[in-house]
Amino acid sequence: MNLELDGKTVIVTGGARGIGAAIVRALAAEGARAIIIDRERALAETLLKEVNAGASGCMFVEADLVDVAACRSAVVEAERVAGRVHAVVNNAGVNDGVGLATGTPDQFVASLERNLVHYYVIAQCALPSLVAARGAIVNIASKVALTGQGNTSGYAAAKGGILALTREWAVELAPSGVRVNAVVPAEVMTPLYHQWLDTFPDPGAKLADITRRIPLGQRMTTSEEIASAVLFLLSARASHITGQHIHVDGGYVHLDRAMP
């Protein structure tokens, strides 16, 4: 299936590793130019050497997404180099463990800045380009927005906000022809997920306990499966899909985890 992404320019925040890197690789394979906005220069440069071997023209803009001015400058730089941004994938974030009993109000606000505020800033800065291109936004959320996890109030609130903003922006931007959707992962083996597993006394046992509860295949979702869903939603093949929360999780959230 031709996704008609060839020649399109797509901003990917947090695109240097994990799910973001998988999205960048998938975009490059489709002939799109990914603009990685991230603070991880070494990881981004390594990734660019890989994907640009196919002359995709992907690039890196270094920015700390907690800094609003840096977000704005990054989008300006992306547009300066690429001419026009056709789509945005808001992906960057971290499950930072700011809980209700263990966190402070300042830590809670900082968590929202790490995980939510830059979604708004990047989308707003890119909006004129997106409207001109009748483009698309895909927001990466998390199952934690719907299921909770415990001891991660900031992250849960941010991811819930992302789902709400997806619907809000879909309404606001529909007259402009800009589509907005969210992809909702559950259990995906990223470097950050691996770090989380390592906090348990027996990471292997914890992983086995998680995967046995995933209805489809009793396995983790791959980053590449998340990327495939993102690319579809960015593409012309999803031309009448907006305001949706697409779960790519092997049925983890919505199916009975006690099923045989």
Residues belonging to the active site: 155
| Sheet with 9-13, edge to edge strand ranges | 59-62, 33-38, 9-13, 87-90, 136-140, 179-185, 245-248
DSSP string, 117-149: IHHHHHHHHHHHHHHHHT-EEEEE--THHHH--
Q: Which residues, 6+ apart, have CB-to-CB distance to 95 below 8 Å?
A: 142, 144, 149, 152, 155, 192, 196
Reduce the secondary structure of 39-101 to three states and give it as a string.
CCHHHHHHHHHHHHHHCCCCEEEECCCCCHHHHHHHHHHHHHHHCCCCEEEECCCCCCCCCCC
Per DSSP, 221 falls in state: B
Task: Give the phi and the psi of residue 10 in degrees, each rounded to 5.
Answer: -130, 120
Count of Cβ atoms closer than 10 Å to residue 240 Cβ: 6
Are residues 89 and 119 in contact, defined by beta-carbon separation less than 8 angstroms? no
